[in-house]
Structure 1
Amino acid sequence: MSLRPLFAAMLLAGLAMPAGAQMMQSESYKFLQAVKDAKGNEVTDMLGRPGSNIINTRDVTTGEGALHIVIKRGDETYLRYLLQKGADPNMRDGRGNTPLLLAVAAGQPELIRILAAAKANPNLANAAGETPLIRAVQRHDIVMVRELLAAGGDPDQADNIAGLSAREYATQDTRNTAIAKLFAETPKKTRAAVAGPKF
């Protein structure tokens, strides 16, 4: 079997793509790779180019952006820099995880503070409906629970899997007495009524 037709088809597919898209695709890949490799000078150069709009680019296979990458390695300096350059603190990866969810999963309360200051939404859930607050409760981490409550986390927002909220997970888990007590002192949020037709 000859590979020549396959190479010809690949070449034609590449030529069919507009030159700008080809360049952007490779720029995006290079940017994410530079972030992964912590090549500060390259990242700074790429973001400093006039008209650069790669700050919120995503990996085509995982959906991860630059913030997801730096959160996973616990890199405060890069996190602050990328947020200053306009990175979206609410960007979701392919599984719906936000940088805030990843910071909680990694047990990084200092990154939670940085993201909260950048207006990260503490109530954005992943594909399973798991919020950062639910994940912090499951980790039995009262420091992170406090940080998320201070940032506006809703203890009564339920997930999609068990239909339980952070408050309910805490009260059901006997190892979470301090967190359950914290939630007992936290009033329920009033939810706006959904307007609809009246019959």
Structure 2
Amino acid sequence: MLSIMRRPFAIMAVLLAAAVSLPAQAQFSDSYKFLEAVRKKEGEKVTEALSEPGSQIINTKDFTTGQSALHIVVARRDLTWIQFLIAKGANVNVRDNKGMSPLVQACELGFIEGVDELIKSGARVEDANNTGETPLISAVHRRDLALVRLLIKAGANPDRPDNSGRSARDYATLEGKTSSVLGEIERASKEAKGTGPKKTYGPSF
């Protein structure tokens, strides 16, 4: 008898849980559709999704990887879509589940045009991933001199260590004192200091 009386309450609880989960499912569905449209370069669908009043979907993340639309277009080295998404309000410092920002991702790919665009749009050059790897450390691992130069000019610190305690300068030094990467770090660091803000002096009387 008691079990029979409990059934209506059990059914009601199930229905209530289903009703509560519907908005979350709908949001997940919208996010999935948006990211899929970005992956497939479906500009009309993406623009339509972004045109919804009060839409925050521009910075939505993939449920499994944590990647945003900006991560997706950086991965395919698509400068046009990077510029489009940034113009629509994409967060250039968003991170995925590995702590990877679009800037670190672009550096790992050696995508210098993307790196330049992200920096100009406010990407933080000191943001590291979950292992402490900064954009500059990624550039050093690639032995990419142009990328090293660009990042240091933008303010990257060659002496900031990763989680293992080694910095970009340390990794370059491992290649020997004649390392071209180490030479570029030294040269770019001097140039960056030389182009710092000039001191101003008052008038002499």
The bucket for the TM-score relative to the shorter chain is 0.7 to 0.9
Provide TM-score, normalisation by structure 1. 0.83
Could you tell me which residue of structure 2 aligns to residue 144 of structure 1? 147
Deviation per residue, 1:3-26 (Å, 9 max, x gap)? xxxxx999875433253x333221
Match status 1:71 vs 2:106: no
Counterpart of 2:64 (choices 57, 61, 64) is 61
Amino acid across the alignment from 1:15:
A
Query: How many residues were matched structurally?
Result: 180
The partner residue of 2:181 within 154, 179, 182 is 179
CA 1:107/1:18 → structure 2, altered by over 3 Å: closer, same or farther?
same
Aligned to 1:36: 39
Matches within 5 A, 1:160-199: 160-161=163-164, 163-174=165-176, 177-185=179-187, 186=189
- Conserved in 2, the CA contact under 8 Å of 1:67 and 1:87? yes
Larger radius of gyration: 2
State yes or no: 1:17 paired with 2:21: yes
Percent identity between matched residues is 45
Q: Structure 2 CA distance, aligned partners of 1:132 and 1:10?
A: 48
Q: Could you tell me how far 1:28 is from its partner in structure 2?
A: 1.1
Distance 1:18 1:107, change over 3 A: same
The unaligned stretches of length 5 or more in structure 2 are: 1-10, 194-205
Stretch moving more, 70-79 or 172-181? 172-181
Q: Give yes or no for contact 2:148–2:185 (8 Å, CA) kept in 1.
A: no
Q: Are the counterparts in 2 of residues 133 and 148 from structure 1 also a CA contact under 8 Å?
A: yes
1:91-147, Cα deviation, whole Å (9 max, x unpaired): 110001100011011110000000000110011010000001001001000011111
- State TM-score, norm by structure 2: 0.81
